[in-house]
Structure 1
């Protein structure tokens, strides 16, 4: 294995940004409890307030709407925890939405409706009944394919039909412009490490009128919405990453050009390969490429041995590589879904990184059997 690595798995996690690291290190010396009224406590509170403003600015929200959590999984679980009688979601949703929806259905008898998904990964609201007690969960950008959903249209439908909309927006910040106010969602989940902040910190954006009971009983932190002493260092890192991610929006066009080059050159090397959802609106940094009849696990391992980090689907299964529930929901044949790898770019991705991937792909797929 070469000592030089090429990281192309930004949708799994983004390397910690220098700005976030510096903010966290500085915050470690701010030892006061943010709930204390003395000078030490006020210093900690100021760091939290600054970070809240930065995260809010990144997604077009009001600072008072941003509630810090331990990550997007907690944020999604919280949004789904209200006493919904009906939850509508697609099979392409992240497991951190699908799992709590299933648990709520079992524990409370809520009806879970699976929304239809077209072959290009776009979700349709066909057959959904609105009314009070109905929640629609719609991921803004899919973590595996990069497909973007029309959340604005879904939010309008929810408003007109007396329902609420929750959107998992984890993959979107820094890659596309966001404005929570125009999305029409009642709640939106975010994750720190997806934008170059630390792991273990996220947020739920809660719009006006979307009152949620706290998940935890305890103190009055986060305006009595999320009990527990705040993780000031992680929050400060999240805030610094949010400021940097806002600047990243200027480079989204560059990332899109790199992704398009990667796809063109892969198809030139292996014309039988399939770029999944190529015609759908997608994140500029994400490409899901399938080699029919191949094993995604074998592809990922071989690429890893050649110094490239990519993935096969979501990185949330204890290292297991199995057939993607996202691709299955899109109706892709097993021989295609089992041979799909995800390549996701980030602000540090260069032309050389794309060239390295294409060269490795050519070396691996040039006559080598990749069957499962």
Structure 2
């Protein structure tokens, strides 16, 4: 099988797996301690978590703290609900992940910002006078377009609003730009599933939304998992060491894939984009049939979070595609462990199956 669905999840890095095993049991059987216990095993587990916290923090801007969560969805909820006491509305781009859109809508405070045909959300739009929080992701998970986050952070500050950046698809792959809060998920940069983090700038008034034992600075109660967090930290350290090499490798894969898929239309900007995401369409294509006929190639018909829903991608509709165009689109995601041979084999298989339909 050829795996080309890196936006849904990425393969676990060997370095992360090795680090996790130490804290699931350990060679001497003492690695399973509760990090909130005061005895020796607890202190050892707590030390592993703090090492991981430092490793994760190293890829964030200075002047903030890392709060571990169960994933980016929880991090987003903590950021949006944890600032609800400030009052006012939440401005979200039309292409945000459901975790952002649905949370803002659930609070009854969502103000949607439009995006251009190339998938970027420009800063010429007005924010509501009562806007307390602007939410704009750094890299879109469906079309890979990089957003003008620096400009939006500046605009939010100019309107006395906070800025939340969903950096799930950016963290570990490029510099994470400034914000007041940043959400990430470990399994998108070769860490384990079930753990993420919210970076919070110093001075942000964030309230807890999950009560209990008061762990994680009194903002996120619940026993932390040393194994998951240690794996996340190891993945972050590896991403930091390999960022330039990974970017070069992904860029080479992108350019080759663009050559092979020359007859397909690209969704979103070709320049302002993370090159590990190739979202393309072909007129008249039955994507469900294509996926069935290419069952040894793992790719997506859209966001993994919406797979099987039968709904048209809200992201593709937001950039002006018709329902037919959106439903004839596929997303190929590749990264560190993808080989050039895999890209070429997969492209040949997909092209042959597509040609047989048309």
Q: Equivalents in 2 of 1:172, 1:284: separation in Å? A: 11
Q: Map of 1:106-185 to 2, 5 A cutoff?
A: 110=109, 112-129=110-127, 133-179=131-177, 183=178, 185=179
Q: Map of 1:264-283 to 2, 5 A cutoff?
A: 264-267=259-262, 271=263, 273-283=264-274
1:91 aligns with 2:89: no
Alpha carbons 1:115, 1:126 under 8 Å: kept: no
Secondary structure class of the residue paired with 2:38? coil
- How far is the alpha carbon of 1:298 from its aligned partner? 2.3
- How far is the alpha carbon of 1:210 from its aligned partner? 1.4
Residue 49 (structure 1) aligns with: 50
Find the partner of 1:186 among 173, 176, 180: 180
Length-normalised TM-score, structure 2: 0.93
Q: Equivalents in 2 of 1:132, 1:208: separation in Å? A: 23
Find the partner of 1:17 among 7, 13, 20: 13
**CA gap 1:321/1:280 in 2 versus in 1, 3 angstroms:** farther
1:26 aligns with 2:22: yes
1:205 aligns with 2:193: no
**CA gap 1:322/1:314 in 2 versus in 1, 3 angstroms:** same
Residue 367 (structure 1) aligns with: 356
Alpha carbons 1:6, 1:353 under 8 Å: kept: yes
Find the partner of 1:299 among 290, 293, 306: 290
Q: Map of 1:232-271 to 2, 5 A cutoff?
A: 232-250=226-244, 251-267=246-262, 271=263
1:335 aligns with 2:338: no
Length-normalised TM-score, structure 1: 0.89
Q: Equivalents in 1 of 2:240, 2:55: separation in Å? A: 9
Residue 349 (structure 1) aligns with: 338
- How far is the alpha carbon of 1:334 from its aligned partner? 2.1
The runs of 5 or more residues in structure 2 that have no matched partner are: 26-30
1:315 aligns with 2:304: yes
Q: Equivalents in 2 of 1:321, 1:50: separation in Å? A: 43
Aligned residues: 349
Q: Equivalents in 1 of 2:129, 2:319: separation in Å? A: 28
CA deviations 1:104-137 (Å, max 9, x no partner) are 00xxxx3x21111100000124443365652110
Q: Equivalents in 2 of 1:319, 1:20: separation in Å? A: 31
- How far is the alpha carbon of 1:280 from its aligned partner? 4.0
Alpha carbons 1:71, 1:200 under 8 Å: kept: yes
The runs of 5 or more residues in structure 1 that have no matched partner are: none
Structure 1 vs Structure 2 CA RMSD: 1.7
Q: Equivalents in 2 of 1:311, 1:77: separation in Å? A: 26
- How far is the alpha carbon of 1:75 from its aligned partner? 0.6
